[in-house]
Amino acid sequence: MNLNFFDQFSSPSLLGIPLILIAMMFPALLLPSPGNRWINNRLSTLQLWFINLITKQLMIPLDKKGHKWALILTSLMMFLLLTNLLGLLPYTFTPTTQLSMNLALAFPLWLATLLTGLRNQPSVSLGHLLPEGTPTLLIPALILIETTSLLIRPLALGVRLTANLTAGHLLIQLISTATTTLMTTMPVVSLLTLAVLLLLTILEVAVAMIQAYVFVLLLSLYLQENI
Amino acid sequence: LTRSLVPSAPAALRALPPPVAVGVLHTTRPLHTTQQSLAPLPPLPEKGGEVRHGLIPEEFFQFLYPKTGVTGPYMLGTGLLLYFLSKEIYVINHETVAAACILTVIIYGIKKFGADVAAFADKLNEEKMAAAVAMKNEAIQTLQTAIEEEKKEQWRVEGRSFLFDAKRNNIAMLLETNYRERLLMVYNEVKKRLDYQVAMQNLRRQKEQEHMIQWVEKNVVQSITPQQQKESIAKCILDLKALSKSAHAAV
C-alpha cells in the first residue's frame, strides 16, 4: 500500500460503498453491554465505574433541569474518547478528523443550549453577553465582541477537535516517514526521530483523551449558562 | 387500567367497586407458575480464557500441538510474517514505524498498569459484596438480639405471680389502713358526743352548787340581826386581845 499523507483522512469506502458509518459505529462494539448480573466481570465493572465518574463530573455543576442532558453528554464523551483513541492505531480511519462530523456534533448541541437559554430565561441568557462591571463606554463594543464569541462557539468546538486530531495524525505520519527514510542512510538520526515519535505517540494518546473531554466539558459549560 | 381489566372479569368481580376489583384481580393472578429464565444465573468463571502473548488463545497452540509440536505455531507465525514481507503483501512504510511506536506504548501501559487496574476492578466488586454481606450480617445480628430480648421477657413473665402477690398485699394493707382510720374517726366522734354530755352534767352540778351556796350565804347574812353583829364583833375583839397577850407572853 503506497500512501500519501492525506489518504488516512479520506472517507473510507470499499468498492464504492462508503464505510464511514461502520467506522463511526465501531467503537460501540467494544463496549460490553451490562449483563443482568449483580457482580459483573472486570471490564463491565470498570466501564460502569468510568461512566459513573464521567456523568457525576459533568452533572454536578448542573441543576435538575440539566440532568436531562446526562445521557447525550456521557455517550458523546464515550464516543469521542474511543474514536480518538482507536484512531491512533495504524491504518485506522478516525472519523473525528472530518470537519463535517465534528461540526455536525458541535452545531446542533450548541444551538440546543442556546435555544434552551433563549426560550426559558431570555434575559439571563442575553445578560451573559455583558460581563459585570464593565465601564459604560465599552458596553457597545463588548456586546459586539461577546456576540461574536457566542456565534463562533460551534465553529470553535468543531475546528478545535478536527485540528488537534488532524495535526497529531499528520505529525505522526511525517515523523515516521522521516524515521523510515533515514533508517537506510543515517540510522542514528533515525533512532533519534524514533524517540521523538515515541514521545509524540504518548502525547497523542493524551491529546485524544483531553480533546474528547474538552469538547464535552465546553458543551456542559454552555449548558450551565443557559439552562 | 380498571376499565381495561374489569370488563373481562367475572360478574361477581365486576360487582365490587373498581379499586377493590383491581386489587382482587391482582391478588388472584397466579404468581411464579414457571421457572423464571433469569435466575439463578450460572456463575461467572473465575478466570478468563488462557492467552499466550496477550493475543493468541491457548487453544490454538493445543490445536497445533499434535501435528507440529511446541514450535509449530511459532513457525507458522514467522513464516506468515516473512511471506507477507517478502511478497510485499504487507509493505513497510511510515505506518509500520508508527505502528511500532503505538504498540510499544500500549504494551508498556498494559504491562505496567494492568495488574493494578484488575485489582481495582476486583476491589469495586468486593466492596459491593462486602456492603451486601454486612447488611445481611447486621440483619442477622438484629434478629438474634431480638430473640435474646424475647427470651428475657419470657423469663420475666415467670415472676409475674410474685408481682401480683405483692400488689395484692399492698392493696389489702391500704384497705386495712383505711378501715382503721374510719374506725378511729367513728370513735372520736362518739367520744366527742359523750364528752359533751358529761361536760353538760358537770356544768349543771357546778351551777347548782354555786347557786345553793349563794342562797345559803344570802340567807345567813340576812338572818344576822344588828344585835348579834355587835355581840360577835365585841367577842372577836376580846378574843384577839387574849390572843395577843398570849402571843406577847410567848415571845
The full DSSP string for chain B is: -HHHHGGGS-HHHHHS-HHHHHHHHHHHS--S-S--SSSSPPPPPSS---EETTTEEHHHHHHHHHHH-SSHHHHHHHHHHHHHHHTTSS--SHHHHHHHHHHHHHHHHHHHHHHHHHHHHHHHHHHHHHHHHHHHHHHHHHHHHHHHHHHHHHHHHHTHHHHHHHHHHHHHHHHHHHHHHHHHHHHHHHHHHHHHHHHHHHHHHHHHHHHHHHHHHHHHHHH--HHHHHHHHHHHHHHHHHHHHHHHHH-
Residues from B in contact with A at Cβ < 8 Å: 38, 41, 44, 48, 91-99, 101-102, 104-105, 117-118, 120-122, 124-125, 128-129
pLDDT at residue A1 in the model: 56
Please check whether residue A199 is in contact with residue A30, taking contact to mean a CB–CB distance below 8 angstroms: no
Please check whether residue A167 is in contact with residue A138, taking contact to mean a CB–CB distance below 8 angstroms: no
3-class DSSP assignment, residue A106: helix
Low-confidence ranges of chain B (pLDDT < 50): 1-3, 6
Distance of alpha carbon B208 from alpha carbon B216, whole angstroms: 12
User: Structural domain boundaries of chain A?
Assistant: 18-32+40-226
pLDDT at residue B38 in the model: 63
Q: How confident is the model at residue A129 (pLDDT cuts 50, 70, 90)?
A: confident
3-state SS, one letter per residue, for A185-220: HCHHHHHHHHHHHHHHHHHHHHHHHHHHHHHHHHHH
* Count of beta carbons in the 10 Å neighbourhood of residue A162: 22
Q: How confident is the model at residue A215 (pLDDT cuts 50, 70, 90)?
A: very high
pLDDT at residue B55 in the model: 87
In the predicted model, is pLDDT for residue A44 greater than 70? yes
Distance of alpha carbon A82 from alpha carbon A56, whole angstroms: 19
Query: Under an 8 A CB cutoff, do A42 and B122 touch?
Result: yes
Which triple of cell numbers denotes residue B81? 510474517
DSSP string, B37-52: SSSSPPPPPSS---EE
Decide which of B26 and A81 is more confident.
A81
Distance of alpha carbon B22 from alpha carbon B1, whole angstroms: 8
Distances (CA, A) of B153 to B141, B143, B163: 18, 15, 14
Which triple of cell numbers denotes residue A130? 455583558
- Interface contact A89, partner B, CB < 8 A: yes
pLDDT at residue B32 in the model: 66
Q: Which residues pair with B51 in a beta bridge?
A: B57
> Residues A211, A103, A31, B102: what is their CA dihedral angle, to the nearest 10 degrees?
-50
pLDDT at residue B47 in the model: 79
Distances (CA, A) of A28 to A76, A80, A141, B10, B149: 11, 11, 46, 51, 57
Distance of alpha carbon A209 from alpha carbon A214, whole angstroms: 9
- Return the ∠ at Cα B86 (arms to B83 and B90), rounded to 5°: 80
Distance of alpha carbon A114 from alpha carbon A67, whole angstroms: 16
pLDDT at residue B161 in the model: 87
Report the interhelical angle of A70-86 vs A42-59 (nearest 10°): 120
3-class DSSP assignment, residue A18: strand
Which residues have C-beta within 8 Å of that of residue B73, sequence separation ≥ 6? B56, B60, B61, B64
pLDDT at residue B29 in the model: 67
In the predicted model, is pLDDT for residue A37 greater than 90? no
Query: Under an 8 A CB cutoff, do A197 and B117 touch?
Result: no
Residues 162-181 of A with CB under 8 A from B: 172-173, 176-177, 179-180
End-to-end CA distance of chain B: 144
A205 interaction partners in chain B (CB closer than 8 Å): 105
Distance of alpha carbon A22 from alpha carbon B170, whole angstroms: 94
Chain centre to alpha carbon of residue B246: 109
pLDDT at residue A96 in the model: 94
> Residue A11: what are its φ and ψ, rounded to 5°?
-65, 125
Confidence check on the interface: ipTM exceeds 0.90, yes or no: no
Compute the nearest-CA separation of A184 from chain B (Å).
13
Could you give the percent of chain A with pLDDT greater than 90? 74
**Chosen from A86, A172, A199 to mutate, greatest number of chain B CBs within 10 A:** A172
Average pLDDT, chain A: 91
pLDDT tens string A139-170: 899 999 999 999 999 999 999 999 999 999 99
pTM for this entry: 0.71
Which residues have C-beta within 8 Å of that of residue A146, sequence separation ≥ 6? A128, A129, A130, A131
Please check whether residue A68 is in contact with residue A59, taking contact to mean a CB–CB distance below 8 angstroms: no
Distance of alpha carbon A115 from alpha carbon A227, whole angstroms: 10
> In chain B, whose CA is at the least distance from the CA of A43?
B121
pLDDT at residue B83 in the model: 96
pLDDT at residue B227 in the model: 80
How many CB pairs below 8 A link A and B?
Answer: 78
